[in-house]
């Protein structure tokens, strides 16, 4: 956590709302260092994106799923209301998952609890980890998958 994350408003007793860019700069720093066990990663799609809007995500397909060991690419758009509003997520790698629109790879929020119930304490790492976890659900484990390396 940064000094801003848990700061209290002077005299007001309420939590300070950390501005979008501070939240995203913290996520950028964390993403560049590497997160968790390496099963997910993320970073800015373009180093000159001064608005910190477009991100690339990567998920390694989980053990015991039809996507096991595959490197799956995603595009994450953190709009102007992030982190108060969930980001838009789209798989660039073609996958057959219950929560992914098969026409364009868009992740449908209603199929993913972390997006459906988004709150500003969530972050890109948690989002990617939850998408990865959903790949092992009973519904998605049974889905036949397109050939590795195919894209939307």
For the whole prediction, is pTM greater than 0.85?
yes
For the chain, how big is the Rg over CA atoms in Å? 16
Token pair in block for residue 39: 């099963």
Report residue 32 as tokens.
Answer: 């560049």
Phi, psi of 101 (to 5 degrees): -65, 120
The mean per-residue pLDDT over the stretch 117-127 comes to: 96
64 confidence band (pLDDT: 50, 70, 90): confident
Over residues 81-121, the pLDDT tens digits come to: 999 999 999 999 999 999 999 999 999 999 999 999 999 99
Nearest CA among 58, 108, 102, 56 for reference residue 86: 108
DSSP string, 95-144: ---TTB-TTT-BBPGGG-HHHHT--TT--HHHHHHHHHHHTTSHHHHTS-
For the chain, the average pLDDT equals 90
- The answer on pLDDT for 10 being more than 90 is no
Give the C-alpha distances (Å, rounded to integers) separating 69 from 18, 58, 62. 37, 12, 7
Backbone angles phi, psi at 41, to 5 degrees: -155, 165
């Amino acid at each position: 956590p940064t000094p801003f994350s848990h700061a209290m408003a002077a005299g007001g007793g309420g939590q300070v709302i950390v501005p979008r860019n501070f939240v995203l700069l913290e996520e950028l720093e964390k993403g560049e260092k590497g997160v968790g066990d390496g099963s997910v990663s993320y970073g800015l799609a373009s180093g000159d994106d001064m608005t910190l809007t477009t991100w690339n995500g990567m998920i390694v397909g989980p053990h015991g799923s039809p996507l096991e060991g595959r490197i799956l690419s995603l595009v994450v758009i953190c709009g102007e209301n992030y982190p108060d509003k969930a980001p838009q997520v789209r798989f660039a790698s073609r996958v057959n998952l219950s929560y992914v629109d098969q026409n364009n790879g868009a992740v449908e929020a209603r199929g993913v609890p972390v997006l459906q119930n988004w709150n500003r304490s969530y972050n890109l790492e948690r989002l990617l980890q939850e998408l990865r976890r959903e790949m092992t659900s009973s519904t998605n484990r049974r889905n036949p998958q397109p050939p590795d390396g195919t894209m939307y």
